[in-house]
Chain A
Amino acid sequence: DGGITQSPKYLFRKEGQNVTLSCEQNLNHDAMYWYRQDPGQGLRLIYYSQIVNDFQKGDIAEGYSVSREKKESFPLTVTSAQKNPTAFYLCASSTLAGGRYNEQFFGPGTRLTVL
């Protein structure tokens, strides 16, 4: 988990609310990612960013939004359009230097529960 922080650790959302999950890294990594983890389904990519002010949709981007205003930060907003947001959310980062085979480093995660 070293080098990537996520906050809060636990988050509760009421129906119709937008909530924002924080992700910060001090690894000087170029790329950052957001994944959603549900039991028995592995990790699914929500959004990723390879450079400041640029990001792309992953496999399940509907109902989510992101921004990348700083290299160190990649916040994820779960909007009211996401109908089933209860899940464990993981942020990751990787360096792009040297090629495409660099491993991703993960934060400790945020558990979001809809009340």
Chain B
Amino acid sequence: AQSVAQPEDQVNVAEGNPLTVKCTYSVSGNPYLFWYVQYPNRGLQFLLKYITGDNLVKGSYGFEAEFNKSQTSFHLKKPSALVSDSALYFCAVRDISNDYKLSFGAGTTVTVRA
């Protein structure tokens, strides 16, 4: 069975500091990995995805994520956080052997203080 874990319920950073949101995954085959962001009472917005190739993936709003196969991780990063980055972030994985199921982590609430 495929799954993702987001070990931190909350991440707090000061504006201008680096932001990291952690995600680890478990799949039986090669993973397709995604990051989404959700603002209060809104739907999820796609940030970026890893399919294959370069382990560093660049996405929307200055976010990037690093795929690490040996550590089965896909951490989301932003070099300089903004107050407007405060939101709920979800990591998700799709198993290559299962063409519809996208498994989500429980989410990490990011708070960026001014």
Interface residue ranges, A against B (CB under 8 Å): 1, 4, 6, 31, 33, 40-45, 48, 50, 56, 58, 88, 90, 92, 100-101, 103-109, 111
CB distance from B97 to the nearest CB of A (A): 9
Interface residue ranges, B against A (CB under 8 Å): 9, 32, 34, 36, 41-46, 49, 51, 90, 94, 96, 99-102, 104-107
Q: Report whether A111 and B106 are in contact in the complex, using a CB–CB cutoff of 8 Å.
A: no
A108-B45 Cα distance, complex, nearest whole Å: 10
Question: Which DSSP category, helix, strand, loop or mixed, fits chain A's interface?
Answer: strand
User: Which residues of chain B have C-beta atoms less than 8 A from A90's C-beta?
Assistant: 43-44
Contact A101 B51, CB 8 Å, known A31-B100, A42-B90, A48-B100: yes
User: Which residues of chain B have C-beta atoms less than 8 A from A88's C-beta?
Assistant: 41
Q: Report whether B100 and A106 are in contact in the complex, using a CB–CB cutoff of 8 Å.
A: no
